[in-house]
Amino acid sequence: MSVRAGQELREKTLGLPSWRGAWALALGACLTLGFSPVRAQPAPHPSDPIAALIAGQQANLPVVIGVKLTETGNRAQFVVELSDPITAQVITLANPNRVVIDLPEVLWRVQTDVRPSGRGIIKSYRYGLFRKGDFRFVVDLGGPAKLAEPKLLPPEGAAGFRLVFDFAPTTAEDFAAHAGWPQNAAPVAGTAVARSPAPANSTAAKRIVVIDAGHGGIDPGTHGSSGLQEKDLVLTVAKEVRSALEATGRYRVQLTRDSDVFIPLRERVNIARAAHGDLFVSLHADSNDHREIRGASVYTLSEDASDKESARLAEKENMSDAIAGVDLTGENSPVASILIDLAQRDTMNRSVRFAENVLGALPAATTVRPTSPHRSAGFAVLKAPDVPSVLVELGYLTNTDDERVMISQAWRTHVAQAIAAAIDAHFGAPLGLNTRQAANP
């Protein structure tokens, strides 16, 4: 089966040389062939300096102008058409079986996504900005696979440069033997983020609040029928919360991300701790096969999930790193038993108290789940032992009523203001536990 998107791609028949596990391709040498970049960007209006700056930055980026996927029996060929030759790195990862293709940052200009049949060697794929300067494809495999060494074909006719990847079946033993990041190409654990220094005087300093916009980059999260993506929604709300808090003059606010970029779960926790955060709030939007379910809810950390739905949600959210192609070899399962010392238990108690403040403030801005809106499970992003942390599900993108209001900027502003009010109430409240606890199974 052949599926086409973007411009028509012309290709040559490629053989399948022996698989070597990982290749770093110095493809820039093709520039010596004398081919000109296939890129034409309209000049920004001279009176718009911001647009001019952005256009200037983007003008230096290669452009993905087409993608082609051809499935033939138990083999597949994946072709990326580009305006310029680039350097690529290909790695295979196990558990689950994936192929990670890392490219320099590119502009995505493909009009229609191509989708595999799901019955062949390629089950699905996704793409996006992994971190600043790095664009990533992650290909989910239907079975163990080996790759021929990728090839870069020069422009031909109406087609630009074509980066070609050939997939063929292999044994589980062969795949496992070659999977994983080679020692000389170990990936960076997370995106570099500016971190706040410790306050010189903790009594006089402003409170430090870390707002985490879930997902991002190659990991879009869930989506609604309108096409609204979770990663975009929560980033907008995160910025609104920051604005509301900073307007009070009482807080320093750190975002784990302020653009469409992927941040590994462990790095999000590290950001909160390195910033000496007084509070960590992770924002998400939910999904459910039962589309009638709607309303916001708040989650805190616990060794055991409060109910089966919370356990499933934690498992889904904790898969973010795998979705983005992060090698989890040697990592403890984020849903595994969490060792909690006395200090972390105090942190968890403060998290529970703050969750109640959020649930008290949200009804003024949005619908809250009518039953058990405070739940708990083993969310990896809530595991900072010394920073009170909650995860706020703003609503369900699978519910038409929730999605309709989430599209509104007014709703996003009101919800952000409610979360900011809950933060104010938390720091203004006397110490001690709230009597209301997380939902029981």
Going from N- to C-terminal start, the domains of the chain cover: 2-185, 207-428
Stated pTM of the model: 0.62
Per-residue confidence (pLDDT) for residue 336, from 0 to 100: 37
Characterize 359-394 residue by residue with b for buried, 16 or more Cβ atoms within 10 angstroms of its Cβ, and e for exposed: bbbbeebbbbbeeebbbbbbbbbbbbbebbbbbbbb
Per-residue confidence (pLDDT) for residue 44, from 0 to 100: 44
Which CATH topology does 2-185 take?
Immunoglobulin-like (2.60.40)
Query: CA–CA distance from 388 to each of 194, 212, 301, 353 (Å)?
Result: 21, 13, 10, 9
Using 70 as the pLDDT threshold, list the residues of the chain that sit under it.
1-59, 182-204, 306-307, 309-310, 314, 316-343, 429-441
Cβ-contact 148, 15 below 8 angstroms: yes
**Which ranges of 191-256 does DSSP label H, i.e. alpha helix?**
230-248
Q: Quote the tokens at residue 15.
A: 């053989």
Cβ-contact 170, 99 below 8 angstroms: no
Q: What is the DSSP letter of 74?
A: T
Cβ-contact 382, 301 below 8 angstroms: yes
Strands 145-147, 161-169: pairing kind = antiparallel
CATH 3.40.630.40 fits 207-428, yes or no: yes
Single-letter residue type at 31: L
Cβ-contact 16, 166 below 8 angstroms: yes
Cβ-contact 64, 107 below 8 angstroms: yes
Cβ-contact 229, 220 below 8 angstroms: yes
Per-residue confidence (pLDDT) for residue 5, from 0 to 100: 32
- The label of the residue with tokens 């430090």 reads 208
Q: Report CA Rg, the chain.
A: 24
Per-residue confidence (pLDDT) for residue 341, from 0 to 100: 54
Per-residue confidence (pLDDT) for residue 343, from 0 to 100: 57
